[in-house]
């Protein structure tokens, strides 16, 4: 039953940083109409590191924005992303206490760990509506076979108590259905919303952007953006760039993002003899300004729920080369706005990037084809669909 007073919604997530799942959660809690919803955000501990780190400052700015929007924030310090049985039990008890005290109409969890702990806590507290957004999945690419099977079993068990599972793309829904995580009626596809404002701007031209990075205008720039971690596959892109440079391609590679693999990836460029043609720019607030320099945007992920950064790149008119995996194929249409290549296949990456490097007209055609696609994934459209889902589920509880 839709309550006469404000609808109280609790969102639960482990890592509220600048990653895709956290940004989706941020846009959701801020975008819900505060005249209709009272929103509480439960999160894990804030990212650790130097207070001068731009990513940490940006994550804190998001928390400040959430609070200014009259959204309460509760930090559960044991709500961690990694599997830690003792910490997980403590976090579960903390979630029970908070949810029991708040008595929300809806609990909406995000990502696997928070989804499992938060949904069971919601069930024990008799929350009327339980919603989960996996933001991709951990069914392959993340863990070994034993841990992966454990997560699949936990997801199947927890889906039994879930009213709706939001997948970001049709392919992500199909992945869940193929593993029989839940019946089809429980799934709804709602894209991960993207704030496209800066990326739709043409304020910075490609030549100016290249000059700002110290790259000559005639150089072909290929680039990617994402956390420097194994699942994002940047090593594949580095090896492909190395082979293209060895074959005489006059190109630069730009990697936006930070992560635990940065030192290893930097050493790889040195070992391959291409360090002078590679820029590791770290985490930046001016992503659109940097991406303006790209001739080709690349996403070599080993697993990806949707890939919001692809939408940002398309909004800027960039042709795409991306892994043929997960929800990427729902956004990148092979031969139209980009090229899909087999996961981890360096030779295929070399061929795809090399072909686009030598085809400026093809790059323009693919970039132009991507521009009108991007607005379909706006944050406003996402909020409308989530609001409709909440109302539908609450009506069913009558």
Rounded Cα–Cα distance for residues 298 and 255 (Å)? 10
What's the pLDDT score for residue 138? 62
User: What mean pLDDT comes out for the span 292-321?
Assistant: 93
pLDDT at 141 over 60: no
Q: Is the pTM of this model over 0.85?
A: no
What's the pLDDT score for residue 74? 97
Rounded Cα–Cα distance for residues 55 and 49 (Å)? 10
What's the pLDDT score for residue 57? 83
- Confidence band, pLDDT 50/70/90 cuts, at residue 201: low
pLDDT at 398 over 70: no
Q: What is the tens place of the pLDDT at every residue in 324-349?
A: 998 898 899 999 999 999 999 999 99
Q: What region, left, alpha or beta, does residue 326 occupy, with left being phi > 0 and alpha being psi -120 to 50 degrees?
A: left
pLDDT at 51 over 60: no
| Ranges 143-152, 348-357, 379-388: which has the least confidence | 143-152
- Confidence band, pLDDT 50/70/90 cuts, at residue 205: confident
Q: What is the tens place of the pLDDT at every residue in 20-42?
A: 889 999 999 999 999 999 999 99
Rounded Cα–Cα distance for residues 340 and 209 (Å)? 26
What's the pLDDT score for residue 195? 83
Domain ranges of the chain: 7-193+378-396, 198-376
pLDDT at 311 over 80: yes
The dihedral over CA atoms of 394, 15, 257, 330, expressed in degrees to the nearest 10, equals -30
What percentage of the chain exceeds 70 in pLDDT? 94
Considering only residues 16 and 136, tell me which one the structure prediction assigns the higher pLDDT.
Answer: 16
Contact 285, 55 (CB under 8 A): no
Average pLDDT, whole number, for the chain?
Answer: 91
Q: What is the tens place of the pLDDT at every residue in 209-247?
A: 999 999 998 999 999 999 999 999 999 999 999 999 999
Rounded Cα–Cα distance for residues 227 and 307 (Å)? 12
What's the pLDDT score for residue 305? 78
- Confidence band, pLDDT 50/70/90 cuts, at residue 4: low
Same fold, 7-193+378-396 and 198-376: yes
334, β-bridge pairs: 338
Q: Which fold, 7-193+378-396?
A: Rossmann fold (3.40.50)
pLDDT at 48 over 70: no
pLDDT at 2 over 80: no
Query: What is the CATH number that goes with domain 198-376?
Result: 3.40.50.2000
């Amino acid at each position: 039953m839709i309550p006469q007073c404000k609808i109280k919604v609790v969102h639960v997530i482990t890592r509220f940083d600048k990653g895709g799942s956290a940004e989706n959660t941020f846009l959701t809690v801020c975008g819900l109409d505060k005249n209709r919803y009272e929103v509480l955000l439960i999160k894990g501990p804030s990212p650790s590191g130097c207070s001068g780190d731009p990513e940490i400052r940006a994550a804190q700015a998001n928390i400040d924005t959430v609070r200014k929007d009259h959204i309460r924030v509760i930090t559960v310090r044991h709500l961690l992303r990694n599997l830690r049985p003792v910490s997980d039990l403590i976090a579960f008890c903390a979630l029970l206490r908070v949810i029991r005290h708040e008595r929300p109409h809806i609990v909406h969890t995000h990502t696997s760990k928070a989804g499992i702990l938060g949904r069971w806590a919601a069930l024990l507290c008799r929350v009327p509506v339980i919603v989960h957004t996996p933001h991709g999945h951990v069914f392959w690419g993340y863990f070994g076979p034993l841990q992966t099977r454990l997560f699949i079993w936990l997801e199947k068990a927890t889906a039994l108590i879930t009213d709706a599972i939001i997948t970001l793309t049709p392919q992500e829904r199909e992945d869940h259905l193929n593993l029989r995580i839940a019946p089809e009626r429980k799934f709804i596809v709602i894209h991960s919303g993207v704030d496209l404002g800066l990326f739709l701007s043409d304020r910075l031209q490609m030549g100016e952007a290249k000059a700002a990075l110290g790259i000559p205008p005639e150089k072909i720039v290929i680039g990617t953006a994402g956390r420097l971690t194994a699942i994002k596959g940047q090593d594949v892109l580095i090896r492909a760039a190395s082979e293209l440079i060895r074959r005489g391609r006059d190109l630069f590679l730009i990697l936006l993002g930070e992560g635990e693999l940065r030192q290893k990836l930097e050493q790889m460029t040195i070992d391959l003899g291409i360090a002078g043609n590679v820029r590791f720019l770290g985490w930046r607030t001016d992503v659109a300004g940097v991406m303006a320099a790209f001739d080709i945007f690349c996403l070599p992920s080993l697993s990806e729920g949707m890939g919001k950064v692809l939408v940002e790149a398309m909004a800027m008119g960039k042709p795409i080369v991306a892994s043929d995996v997960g929800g990427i194929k729902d956004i990148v249409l092979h031969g139209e706005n980009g090229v899909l290549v087999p996961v981890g296949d360096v030779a295929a990456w070399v061929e795809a990037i090399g072909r686009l490097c030598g085809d400026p007209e093809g790059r323009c055609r693919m970039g132009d084809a991507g521009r009108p696609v991007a607005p379909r994934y706006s944050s406003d459209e996402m909020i409308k669909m989530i609001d409709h889902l909440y109302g539908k589920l609450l009506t069913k509880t009558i």
